[in-house]
Structure 1
Amino acid sequence: MDAKVTLLQRMTFDATADSGFHVTLGTVPEVGGDDDGFRPMELMLISLLGCTAMDVISILRKKRQEVTAFEVKGHAERADKHPKVFTHVTIEYHVTGKNVDEKAVVRSIELSAIRYCPAQGMLAQVVPMQLKYFIYEDTPTGPQLVKEGEYVRPEDQT
């Protein structure tokens, strides 16, 4: 895989990789930026969420789960001092559908966490991660929370 970032102005960069898509990187005015693009660490968290989201929805579909909405949210705590690395990451999987099986959701998260998602596999080696799931039943009056829980990676079990 190859990628490059090209300076556009001040602290604004155009980033591209083998896929040919582009994303703008920027930073806040306090450090010389124009507040006009994603911060690199935001993209790291977004990459992690995108990687695991694609795995989980793909596996749920293979398991013939009737998912009508799917969202993955993440929160990263960061160190106070430079290099301000992630110190803890929480990932929340929000699955809405018709009679979605909790075991299918947990297994999908597990397979992403321990087998398929390279972003999670890499980051989990250096950052503690908490993986939560929320299952909603799709009803005529809107989604209703029916199950919630947490998947704990085998190496994090005590």
Structure 2
Amino acid sequence: MRALIQRVSRAKVEVEERVTGEIGPGLLILVCALQGDTEAEAEKLAARIAKLRIFKDEAGKMNRSVSDIGGACLVVSQFTLAADTSRGNRPGFSSAAPPEAGNRLYVQFSNTLRGLGLAVANGEFGADMAVSLVNDGPVTIWMDSADRA
């Protein structure tokens, strides 16, 4: 799985002008399931993100996690993170998981964050969404379950 994480002051997602998820301080997580991804990978990636120390401590250093600050997560499915731009000008998305698997892993990822005690809001899988945010920092980090720390 892939995720693009943004530290935010606030963020929300709308589908057809209806707010489906909204948070204050925390993380906007754009997530994409790739072909062959498993529930275990969704769980490990969620756990890594929950522990990611990208919020400032009292000394101004990035040393606190979203849990440490009492923040929330807005999780939005985004298959375009699977884009292959190596051939021509039109990206290919064949490495993205099929919709059924993608949705299952998206739900598993969100539920894992909830199970870790985080407040989680969501977009709507497969919908055309409008995402708005105030990026705090800005801090934007790319993570992939294939990357092992």
The answer, yes or no, to whether TM exceeds 0.5 is no
TM-score by length of 2: 0.36
Higher relative contact order (CA 8 A, sep 6+): 2
Which structure has the greater CA radius of gyration? 1
